[in-house]
Amino acid sequence: MSGEREGMIEIPDAVHSPEVSASPSPDDLSPLAIDTKLVERWLVEFLRSEIGRRRFEKVVVGLSGGVDSSLTATLCRRALGADAVKGFLLPYRTSSRESRDHALLLADGQGIETREIDITDAVDGYAERFEPGMSDHRRGNVAARERMIVLFDQAAKLDALPVGTGNKSERLLGYFTWHADDTPPINPLGDLFKVQVWELARAIGVPEKIVEKPASADLIHGQTDEEDLGVNYAEADLILHHLLSGYPADQLAELGFDPAKIDVVRKRLEGTHWKRHLPTVPMLSSTAIGEWYLRPVDY
Amino acid sequence: MKLNLAICQFRPVKADVEASLAEAARVFERVEAMTPRPDMLVFPETALTGYFLEGGVREHAMTAERLLERLNELYLPGASRPADTPLEVVIGFFELYRDRVYNSALCARLGENPAILHVHRKVFLPTYGVFQEERFVDPGHTIRAFDTGWGRAAMLICEDAFHSLSSTLAALDGAQLILVPSASPARGFEPGPGVPGNVVRWDRVLRTIAEEHGVFVAAVQILGFEGGKGFPGGSVVFGPGGEAIARAPLWEEALLGMRLDLREISAARVGQPLLADLERALPGLLLHPPRGAEGGRPSGHEPESGEGGESS
C-alpha cells in the first residue's frame, strides 16, 4: 500500500467480501476454508474475555479423546495457561481404550492435569435397576447427561467454569444430547463446522492420530458419526453452509449436489430447530422473558 | 489550517455508563499529556455502554446536555491547556431526546466554555443478521456538517457510512473531515487478508469516501467481546487522496495522535474535482428522481417488465 506510514498494520487492497461468493459447487470446499492463525487468536481472545467477565480464572473440560474436546482444551490452555485447565475423563463401561489413551495423550502434551471419574455405576444404577433393556440410544443420552452432572459439580468444587466442546455441524444436525453436550455456558467451537475443527486442530498441533480418526460418540464399538448421519462431514458441512447462506435445496441439486444427501442434511436441520433453543414458554404477558424482556447475556 | 486529531479505539464497560466515563477520563489525562495537544478527540459508537444492549438501551440513555456536563466534569480537573484552545470531543452514546432513544454521536467543546457543537442521530439502523437496532432505537433523519474550532466536520455512525449518499450529503454540506464512530463485529475468517473480512470491507468503504469527495475520514471502532460477538478494532484515518494516515492495531485499545493539514483537501479537489462536478449535476438529477424497486408507485403493482401498464 504505497504512501502509507511505516509501522501500521496492512490491510490488503484485494476485493474481499464474505457475503459474496461464486455459485456453490460440490467440488469447491473453499467456502469452508479458514485462516487458522486468525481463528485461533479470535477464540483465545474470546475465552479470556468470557471467562474473565464471568469472574472465573479456571475451566474444566470433559476430555473424550476426540478432536473437539482436544481442540477446546488446547485453546483453553493457550488462553489461560495449563494450570488453569483441568481435564476430566468420564468413561462409561463401553468407552474404548483408545479414547482414554488419546485423552491422556492430549493432556500430557498440553501439560493439563486430568482426573478420571467412571460414570458406569451412576448410569447403570438407574439403567440396570429401573430400566433394564434400555436401548443404546437412551443409554447414550443418560450417559451424556451424567457426564454434565459430574462436570458441573467438579466445576463448582474447583470454582471453575465448564467449557463446552460442541461444533457447528453437530449443532445444526441436532447430533447431540439436548441439555447435555450443549449445557456449558461458553462454547468456543460452536460456530466452526467439523471440517474447520479438523483444520484448526491440525494447525495448532492436536496430535494427528486424534485428528485423523473417524469422529465417534463412542457409545457402541466401531460406531462413527458419519455412518450414523448417512453423509460425511465434508459433504454435510458444505451443504449446510450453502443452505444457511440462502441457497434452496432444489438449486443446490441443480448445481450438482447429491439430492439424497441434501435431503438427509435438510431433514436433520429442519427437524432439530427445537434443540437449538431454550424450552418453549407460553407467553402470557408483555414482559415474557426472551420475547419482550430482552437483555443480552453480558448485560 | 492544521488539525491535531486523536482517535481512541476504546473498550466500553458493558452496560455501565459511569465506569465507561471513568475510562474516558483516563483517556482525557493521556490526551492532555500528548504533544502536540489534540484539538479533537474521537471515541467510537456506543462508547459508554457497549453496542448490544437490546431492550436495555433506555436504561442507559441520557440527554446530550447531561453527557456534556459529565464529560466536562471529568475533563476539567486534569485540563492543562489555555482556555482559548479547548478540546473538542466526539463520542457515541444512546441518547434520550424528546422522549425517544437514539443511537447518537455528540460533538462537544470541553473546557471553560463547554458547548454542544452537534448531535448526529444514526439514520441507517442495521436490522438484519446479528443487528436489531431498529427494534430498540429510533432513526435520525438528517445528515449535516457543522462548524468546529478548526473547520467543518460531519458525523456518520457505522452503517450510515456504508450508504454512499450519507458521505455525499456530508461533503456537499462542506465537511472537511467525516467522523465515523463505529461498532463493527468481526465476521469472515477466510484465508487471505489476515484480518477479519469486515475490517477489509470497512477499509474499502472509507477509502472510497475519502477519494471520491476529497475529504479526511476518521473511523473509530469499539473493542472487545459482547456475548460472543467480538469487536476487533481496525480504527483508521484516511486523507483526501485516499492514503491511510493512521491505523490502530487490531485487538488492542489505542490512542493515536496525528496532524492533519486541511490544505490537502483543496489539493486533492483540484486534481480530481468530483465534488464540484456532483454539485453542478445534482439539481438536474433530482428533477428526475429514481422510481425505486417498486416503480415509485406507493400502492401499485406492475408486471416485472415494467411496460405492461397498470395491473387490474
Q: Give the position of cell 485453546.
A: A75
B244/A5 Cβ within 8 A: yes
Q: Is B196 helix (H, G, I), strand (E, B) or coil?
A: coil
pLDDT band per the 50, 70, 90 thresholds, residue B293 = confident
Q: How many CA atoms lie within 13 A of B273 on its CB side?
A: 6
pLDDT band per the 50, 70, 90 thresholds, residue A222 = confident
C-alpha cell at B188: 469472515
Residue-by-residue DSSP string for B154-166: EE--THHHHSHHH
The amino acid at A28: D
Minimal-distance CA residue of chain B relative to A294: B55
Residue B283 lies inside a defined structural domain of this protein: no
pLDDT band per the 50, 70, 90 thresholds, residue B291 = confident
* Domain count along chain B: 1
Q: What average pLDDT does this structure show over B184-200?
A: 95
Mutation pick from B54, B189, B203, B204 vs chain A, by most beta carbons of A within 10 Å, is B189
pLDDT band per the 50, 70, 90 thresholds, residue A3 = very low
Mutation pick from A29, A41, A187, A298 vs chain B, by most beta carbons of B within 10 Å, is A298
In angstroms, what separates the C-alpha of A126 from chain B's closest C-alpha?
37
Res A47 pLDDT > 80: yes
A45/B54 Cβ within 8 A: no
pLDDT band per the 50, 70, 90 thresholds, residue A226 = confident
In angstroms, rounded to a whole number, what is the distance separating the alpha carbons of residues B12 and B47? 5
Residue B175 lies inside a defined structural domain of this protein: yes
* Domain count along chain A: 1
Q: What average pLDDT does this structure show over B160-168?
A: 98
pLDDT band per the 50, 70, 90 thresholds, residue B302 = low
C-alpha cell at B48: 459508554
Asked whether the beta carbons of A99 and A66 are under 8 A apart, the reply is: yes
Asked whether the beta carbons of B227 and B52 are under 8 A apart, the reply is: yes
Rounded to two decimals, the ipTM of the complex is 0.89
Residue B216 lies inside a defined structural domain of this protein: yes
pLDDT band per the 50, 70, 90 thresholds, residue B265 = very high
The residue range of the domain holding B209 is 2-278
Res A1 pLDDT > 60: no
Res B309 pLDDT > 50: no
* pLDDT (tens digit per residue) in A170-185: 999 999 999 998 999 9
Length of chain B equals 312
Q: Which residue has the higher pLDDT, B233 or A228?
A: B233
* pLDDT (tens digit per residue) in A232-285: 999 999 999 999 999 999 999 999 999 999 999 999 999 999 999 999 999 999
Residue A20 lies inside a defined structural domain of this protein: no
Cα-Cα-Cα-Cα dihedral sign, residues B96, B100, B102, B105: negative
A294/B55 Cβ within 8 A: yes
Residue B246 lies inside a defined structural domain of this protein: yes
Q: What average pLDDT does this structure show over A34-44?
A: 98
Quick one: pLDDT at residue B299? 56
Q: What average pLDDT does this structure show over A90-117?
A: 97
A17/B228 Cβ within 8 A: no
Quick one: pLDDT at residue B298? 55
Partner residue facing A298 (CB), from B14, B192, B204: B14
Res B177 pLDDT > 60: yes
Residue A286 lies inside a defined structural domain of this protein: no
Residue B288 lies inside a defined structural domain of this protein: no
B88: β partners: B40, B109
The residue range of the domain holding A176 is 30-219
- Tell me the CATH number at B69: 3.60.110.10
Rg (CA), chain A: 21
A41/B190 Cβ within 8 A: no
Res A129 pLDDT > 80: yes
* pLDDT (tens digit per residue) in A51-61: 999 999 999 99
